[in-house]
Amino acid sequence: MKKNNIVLVGGGSTWTPGILKAMTTHLDAFALNRIVLYDVDEKRQEVIGEFAKILFKEEAPEVELIYTTDKEVAYKDVDFVFCQMRTGGFAMREKDEKIPLSLGVIGQETCGPGGFAYGLRSIRDMEEMVKDVRRLSPDAWILNYTNPAAIVALALDKLFPEENRILNICDQPVNLLRSFASLIDEDVNNLESVYFGLNHFGWFTEIYDETGKDRAPEIKEIVLNGGFRPVDAEQRDQSWLETYAMVEDMLVDFPEYLPNTYLQYYLYPEYKLSKLDPEWTRTDEVHIGREQKVFQECRRIVENGTAKDSKVVHNDAHGDMMVEVAASIANNLRKTFVVMVRNNGIVANLPADSMVEVAASLGKNGPAPYAVGNIGTFYKGLIENQYAFERLTVEAYMEGSYTKALQALTLNRTVVDAKKARKVLDALIEANKEYWPELK
């Protein structure tokens, strides 16, 4: 088995330890030669990088591990790029959430105006990254977790239309599948799902077990009678528990399919707005929760010189999925994952150039998506509206168009009102002057 060279972009992220732990766990399926952690934030990178050295010294000493802030070092001669950058860091995420809320509109990291703002920031750095990688590692696979993945995926598809080694992925479908599996006492690895939609905007239609039986009806019945919690509830902040609980509400109103949790912001925008605090958002929760916990643990591990006693650093769906996707491509395993691909008729009655999120087998030639066919009017209407928002957002970036930016926000179901959209857009322009192109 070939030993792969990996660069992890966003190496100072709190998600990096979980990805690194997954790498050590999956060495039998995804062999490693060298790992480079790369981040533009030197202080964050150093903390995670020093932890990583200890982890690999103890669990995989044969793997070379370095960390750097030099992209010329990071992208040189790599086989896979694992990308999870956050342009603007948590300071800008806080503005993404709090500015819309201050103006009476939902403020959320990847949905609505917050996702719009984050997307316009992410496109520039993602475009630069792809160009740098292609200069230094022409044949590398780029596996992208960077949010908002729907906007980023569409932008990269427009900017690099001939690219066939960029794959945009999201761990929320597999997070949900793990939680569904726990409800019916099944191993998630024995379940195969049928899924359609856009990123953070989709539905499970069937979930098959090893016998070929569709377990989705049973799962829906359990949720409707007993609610829904993530399988790793003890590790989740309160806002995530509330997010998962809303699956029951969505099933009561729309019982045909099992929904992605993020749909709640689009289906119940007024209700969700009433539950959000403009002074205390998810960013604040992350700061005092995951952010502190992970960095404190990494510092403790470095101080003690061992990671063997850590109960904080462990495999999770985020890390496992990234490594398993890479392994399936590298070793031509053709395992099935839910990923983002250009539609081209997969969902027959959606635009061909939309970036749909569907099940696909993954091998050396990339994703081979499974056809969905026609979808119902309700889902088609919702998705076409959301896709129009995503496309106008990307076009606003590429054309520097204020009008298209305003059109995008006006279309979004979390906003709808054009006067609100203009106020939010103008406030976000002011906050993002260092990151966005000029919109005229």
Band of residue 316 on the pLDDT scale cut at 50, 70, 90: confident
Are 132 and 73 spatial neighbours (Cβ–Cβ below 8 Å)? no
Residue 440 counted as domain residue:
no
Domain with 134 in it: 4-169+284-315
Share above pLDDT 70 across residues of the chain, in percent, rounded to a whole number: 100
Q: Is the dihedral of CA 420, 421, 426, 431 positive or negative?
A: positive
Residue 414 counted as domain residue:
no
How many CA atoms does the CB half-sphere of 226 hold within 13 Å? Answer: 8
The tally of domains found in the chain comes to: 1
Instruction: State pLDDT tens for residues 403-428.
Output: 999 999 999 999 999 999 999 999 99
Q: Give the mean pLDDT of 288-297.
A: 93
Instruction: State pLDDT tens for residues 59-113.
Output: 999 999 999 999 999 999 999 999 999 999 999 999 999 999 999 999 999 999 9
State pTM to two decimals: 0.97
Residue 190 counted as domain residue:
no
Statement: residue 234 has pLDDT above 90: no
Catalytic residues: 171, 262
Question: Is 290 annotated to bind ligand?
Answer: no
Residue among 150, 152, 199, 142 at smallest CA distance from 172: 199
Are 209 and 190 spatial neighbours (Cβ–Cβ below 8 Å)? yes
Are 319 and 18 spatial neighbours (Cβ–Cβ below 8 Å)? yes
Which residues share a beta bridge with 368?
361
Are 161 and 223 spatial neighbours (Cβ–Cβ below 8 Å)? no
Euclidean distance between CA atoms 298 and 433, whole angstroms: 34
Residue 243 counted as domain residue:
no
Residue 160 counted as domain residue:
yes
Band of residue 385 on the pLDDT scale cut at 50, 70, 90: very high
Amino acid at 363: G
**CATH number of the domain where residue 99 is located:** 3.40.50.720
Residue 254 counted as domain residue:
no
Residue among 28, 6, 8, 20 at smallest CA distance from 58: 20
Question: Is 298 annotated to bind ligand?
Answer: no
Dihedral Cα 101, 105, 108, 110, nearest 10 deg:
-140
Residue 362 counted as domain residue:
no
In whole angstroms, how far apart are CA 219 and each of 207, 228, 247, 256?
A: 9, 10, 11, 12
DSSP string for 388-407:
HHHHHHHHHHHHT-HHHHHH
CB-neighbour burial class of residue 332 (10 A; exposed 0-12, middle 13-18, buried 19+): exposed
Question: Is 365 annotated to bind ligand?
Answer: no
Residue 245 counted as domain residue:
no
